Chains A and B, each alone.
Chain A
Amino acid sequence: MASVVAPVAAPPAVELHLRSDLFISDLRTRKKASVLEEVAGALAAANVARTPEAILDALRRREALGSTGLGKGIAVPHARSTMVSERALLVARSTKGIEFDAVDGQPVHLCFLIVAPPLERDPIYLKLVAEIVRATRLARTRQKLIDAPNFAAVRAILVEAARD
């Protein structure tokens, strides 16, 4: 008798994009403009962007459309830029909170920056944004992410939440 093998679910896009070199445990800066500079610098240092300025321009333009501060302490700045070499997710936390012009006016403690090159077909880019938004919808998940001692713990929490 042939055995029935259950299909293996594809891993969440989040899981495939989390990188320890793109994790900032506690941001140095607290204003939106300087935080965007700090994270753009980290992307350039990791060779994801050609220069910090290149990705910074793209992020500023996206923010000028409307803030990516979603409320409840979360911001998901995202942009596609010619100067980005690969799709990437940077996770940054802020103990003190960032003044991010969020929709609820509250400081941001968790910032998920998503960038990608402007490929003609890239269904993963918005899927990644959607997974992050969905994974952080519960207050208890957000608190766990804030309290997590290191990148490995943050990764485990996000992957679990993205699978739910």
Chain B
Amino acid sequence: MTDLLNALVELQDIDVLLREVKDPEIASQEERMGFSLEHVENLEKARRKVAAQIDEKLLQTYERMSRRFARVVVPVEGIVCAGCRMSLPTASARRHSSAIVGIENCENCGRILYRR
């Protein structure tokens, strides 16, 4: 995986955790079990640091898509996008699927893909 894709994955993982922390139902469930969620600022600081590593245009695309999808960066399962479950084109056809080197998008839903 490229550094850029790694940074996007990290950003998504931080966002997943931030959503959980800010979801009153989940946060209350965690606290009832005895878990502390007090240092949200650490998470927000980590997010700023990771976001700074990502190309501005790509970051804007990610932010826009994350308002639509819970997961923007998804794996390819066999030949299927794990986000929308549509078949992906062959290797030769996907060569130019993104304007950014190292980033591949699903042609159906636009999610950013990574291969396991």
Contacts and interface: CB of A to CB of B under 8 A. Distances in A.
Nearest to B21: A65
Interface of B: 9-10, 12-14, 16-17, 20-21, 26, 29-30, 33-40, 42-43, 46, 70-71, 73-75, 114, 116
A49 to B, nearest CB: 11
Contacts of B20: 80
Tell me what chain B mostly uses at the interface: helix, strand, loop, or mixed.
helix
Given A61-B14, A66-B37, A118-B12, A82 B71 contact: yes
B34 A50 contact: no
Contact of B33 (A57, A67, A119, A133): A133
In this complex, the interface size class of chain A, counting residues with CB under 8 Å from chain B, is 20 to 34
Nearest to B71: A118
Interface in A36-77: 50, 54, 57-58, 61-62, 64-68, 70-71, 76
Contacts of B75: 82, 85
15 contacts: A54-B9, A57-B13, A61-B13, A61-B43, A62-B17, A64-B43, A65-B37, A67-B36, A80-B16, A80-B20, A82-B13, A82-B74, A118-B12, A126-B30, A130-B33
A129 interface: yes
B93 to A, nearest CB: 25
Contact of B26 (A50, A54, A83, A126): A126
A152 interface: no
B45 to A, nearest CB: 9
Nearest to B14: A61
Interface in A9-27: none
